Amino acid sequence: MPPSPRRAIFLDRDDTVNRNADLPDAAWEGVKWGDLLKPEFALLIEGSRDALIALKDAGYRLIVITNQGGVARQGGTLSDVNAVNDQLRTLLNPTSEPASIFGDQLIDAWYACPFHPDADSEPFNTEHNWRKPNPGMISAAAEEHNIDLAVSYMIGDKQRDLDAATSAGIPVSQTIHVGPNAPCPDLAHAARVILKLNHPSKADQPTSTVTLSTIKENTAPLADERIRKTVESAANALAERTGIKLTALTLVDSQITATLAIHQLGALAFMAELRRSTNAWHMHTHGSLLWPEHH
């Protein structure tokens, strides 16, 4: 029996996940402005990593689809596009963190279209179904990753991102425009919309409380002192490593509750990382998961 289709978040790359418009002039030496082909200028937008962690933990596949016409304009090669993507992978998956937190990678797949009809470099100087606003990248990703587009979202900073999504079959109500003059200023706000979280007030000092419950609530795995101590130590170590103030931590036999001095999206990301690291430990030690895989 084939697996059930999954839901996904499709993401534009530049000015959605990573900075682009506000990069220094050195980023555009030898290329058209906006053609990010230098990995040293691949920098995440503030809050984007927490947003992606929270969306991933909610059960969404994360798929980047990006137009890279700079290849057709001879500003760089597909290897340069991949180098930028590799740098973003490094920022999204720091080597200081256990590889088991997100399996292989936080982003499940990266699609890039090097074609542009107004360029000179063969064979890329042509229109292509993958080039947004055409739906090709989304359609290919949906087929390759068994994605149900009817329950998926698109997040991007250009209308062409949203048009590509609706052409592929994503409902227009599930396309989210981000940017300084858009309904959602950034990826973090878009994630709050999808996850139905409150938007924090800049005037408020954020404090959030989040809870994890074990897979079988009628059992009491945290009554085992070794498991309880390991989970508690992991939570404190994660708070120290991320610089998030952990103001309260309560463990009962089948549940852990943390109060953190951070907005709700960041707290969800914290718990997602705690869930995955302690699940990996529990699977290795006891042969089973401690927490459900998604909240």
CA 136, CA 134: separation in Å to the nearest integer? 6
Catalytic residue among 12, 15, 108, 163: 12
Asked if 74 and 121 touch (Cβ cutoff 8 Å), the reply is: yes
Q: Are strands 255-260 and 8-11 parallel, antiparallel or unpaired?
A: unpaired
Q: Among this protein's residues, is 14 annotated catalytic?
A: yes
* β strands within the chain, DSSP E: 8-11, 61-67, 109-113, 153-156, 175-177, 208-213, 246-252, 255-260
* Active-site residue (options: 14, 15, 108, 161): 14
12 is catalytic: yes
Question: DSSP assignment of 83-136, as one string?
Answer: HHHHHHHHHHS-TTS-GGGGTT-SS-EEEEE---TT--STTSSS--TTSTTSSH
Report which secondary-structure segment, H or E, holds 236.
Answer: helix 225-242
Token pair belonging to 257: 């509750």
CA distance 269 to 263: 10
Catalytic residues: 12, 14
